[in-house]
């Protein structure tokens, strides 16, 4: 037991030390805190309640951030750039250690039950060009977003896109996202006609549920102020547009979702950074399921995933690229074709069109 405890503390201390070194420039607040936590066995020990795969620094940080977002006047919260615009210069690391030990019960509850979540609104850049191509070919469109989280990918027909170069698409949009472009994608003159959409997720986040939304916000790093503000605005927009994500599994429930979409318009499945969560045999089953549906009706699928993480997907075989690749798969009269379109930043900040 004692050996187990020592190993746990030793391994976690190493993870926090590595985190501190890796993110010294990109996330100075968490880097400083991680270096301090690495020396604090009492904090490291709290993490023993988390499932083994989740014993990662970002889960501890997200849990504390979640509590602070509900305690915004706490002295520690004053060091979080996303909570206060003028953080003090003093070091937050000791305050962090004291905070998580004081709130140990609440921390353990979160560490034991939560997993880190991402739903990045700038990823909507990935769907603009493929859907413009589809809109011109078979539009209007009905979207089934699989692994939808809070459903923010469903907002893409409502966003403004500030393309550099390329200019602005959707001038009157309540939220505009930016994207640096290289290569020559098919830039549409207007936003795509997506007239119906739904999301599917094994653990959907309801944007109307304050606690669910707070967890999503807590998973954003506090040094990323712009990203945090963008997420808050996207959530407000998702509430406004009544975005819904239904509970369901990628493999078991996608065919039924496509049937529903097809009643409204040409069905387009979108998957972004979700299929890496499935074991290889389930990824194969997902592709088989879309092939089965595609043999019976016209269908399109926009993939934005890493080939290295998802080698079983169309177009990914033989590639060891870690980067996100955008691929368009279409089934027309039973014939499948696969087009590799672009590589892109994992959060959609830039797109390189072409191979
Ligand atoms: C990293 S998030 C990506 C969210 C969103 N697609 C994006 O790009 O921002 C992955 C999501 O996939 C969901 N997920 C994992 N396995 C799934 C499955 N078998 N079926 C449906 N959703 C799943 C998770 O619950 C999580 O919300």
Q: Angle, nearest 10°, between helix axes 57-68 and 28-37?
A: 110
Q: Domains of the chain: which residue ranges?
A: 2-113, 121-207+243-353
Q: Helices in the chain by DSSP H: which ranges? A: 2-22, 28-37, 41-46, 57-68, 93-102, 104-113, 125-138, 210-218, 225-240, 250-262, 280-296
Residue 150: pLDDT over 90: yes
**Which pTM was predicted?**
0.92
Confirm or reject: Cβ of 154 under 6 Å from ligand 1.
no
Confirm or reject: Cβ of 274 under 6 Å from ligand 1.
yes
CA distance 154 to 238: 8
pLDDT value for 304: 97
How crowded is the C-beta side of 349, counted as CA atoms within 13 Å?
7
Rounded to the nearest 5°, which phi and psi values hold at 197? -155, 155
What is the per-residue pLDDT across 278-317, written as a single tens digit (0 to 9) for each? 999 999 999 999 999 999 999 999 999 999 999 999 999 8
Phi-psi region of 183 (alpha: psi -120 to 50; beta: other; left: phi over 0): left
CA distance 91 to 323: 35
Is the Cβ–Cβ distance between 178 and 164 less than 8 Å? Answer: yes
Confirm or reject: Cβ of 223 under 6 Å from ligand 1.
no
Write out the CATH class of domain 121-207+243-353.
Answer: alpha beta
Q: Ligand 1, closest atom to CA 203?
A: 25
When pLDDT is averaged across residues 84-105 and rounded to a whole number, the result is 92
Contacts with 307 (C-beta within 8 Å, 6 or more apart), sequence order: 313, 315, 316, 319, 320, 321, 325
CA of 85 to the centre of ligand 1 (A): 32
Indicate the pLDDT class of residue 205, thresholds 50, 70 and 90. Answer: very high
CA of 6 to the centre of ligand 1 (A): 34
Indicate the pLDDT class of residue 207, thresholds 50, 70 and 90. Answer: very high
When pLDDT is averaged across residues 72-92 and rounded to a whole number, the result is 90
CA distance 335 to 330: 8
Confirm or reject: Cβ of 278 under 6 Å from ligand 1.
yes
- For residue 140, whether the previous peptide bond is cis, meaning omega lies within 30 degrees of 0, is yes
What is the per-residue pLDDT across 170-200, written as a single tens digit (0 to 9) for each? 988 999 999 999 999 999 988 889 999 999 9
Tokens of 341: 């379109």
CA of 278 to the centre of ligand 1 (A): 9
Indicate the pLDDT class of residue 3, thresholds 50, 70 and 90. Answer: low
pLDDT value for 258: 98
């Amino acid at each position: 037991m004692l050996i187990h405890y020592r190993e746990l503390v030793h391994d976690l201390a190493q993870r926090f030390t590595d985190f501190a070194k890796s993110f010294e420039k990109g996330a100075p607040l968490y880097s400083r805190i991680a270096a301090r936590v690495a020396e604090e066995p009492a904090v490291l020990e709290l993490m023993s309640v988390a499932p083994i795969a989740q014993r990662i620094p970002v889960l501890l940080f997200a849990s504390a951030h979640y509590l602070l977002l509900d305690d915004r006047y706490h002295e520690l919260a004053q060091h979080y750039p996303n909570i206060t615009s003028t953080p003090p210069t003093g070091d937050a690391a000791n305050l962090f250690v004291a905070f998580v030990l004081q709130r140990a019960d609440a921390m353990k509850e979160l560490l034991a039950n939560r997993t880190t979540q991402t739903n990045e609104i700038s990823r909507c850049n990935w769907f603009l060009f493929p859907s413009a191509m589809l809109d011109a070919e078979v539009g209007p469109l009905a979207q089934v977003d699989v692994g939808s989280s809070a459903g923010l990918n469903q907002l893409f027909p409502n966003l403004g896109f500030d393309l550099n170069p390329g200019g602005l698409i959707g001038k009157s949009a309540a939220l505009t996202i930016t994207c640096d472009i290289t290569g020559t994608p098919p830039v549409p003159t207007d936003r795509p006609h997506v007239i119906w959409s739904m999301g599917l997720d094994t653990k959907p986040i309801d944007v109307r549920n304050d606690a669910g939304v707070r967890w999503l916000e807590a998973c954003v790093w506090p040094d990323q102020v712009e990203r945090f503000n963008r997420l808050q605005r996207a959530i407000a927009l998702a509430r406004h547009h009544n975005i819904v994500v239904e509970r369901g599994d990628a493999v078991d429930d996608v065919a039924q979702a496509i049937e529903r979409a097809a009643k409204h318009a040409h069905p387009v499945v979108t998957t972004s950074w979700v299929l890496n969560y499935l074991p290889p045999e389930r990824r194969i089953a997902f592709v088989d399921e879309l092939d089965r549906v595609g043999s019976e009706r016209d269908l399109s699928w926009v993939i934005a995933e890493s080939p290295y993480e998802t080698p079983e997907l169309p177009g990914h075989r033989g590639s060891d690229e870690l980067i996100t690749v955008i691929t368009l798969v279409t089934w027309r009269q039973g014939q499948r074709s696969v087009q590799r379109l672009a590589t892109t930043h994992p959060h959609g900040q830039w797109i390189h069109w072409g191979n």
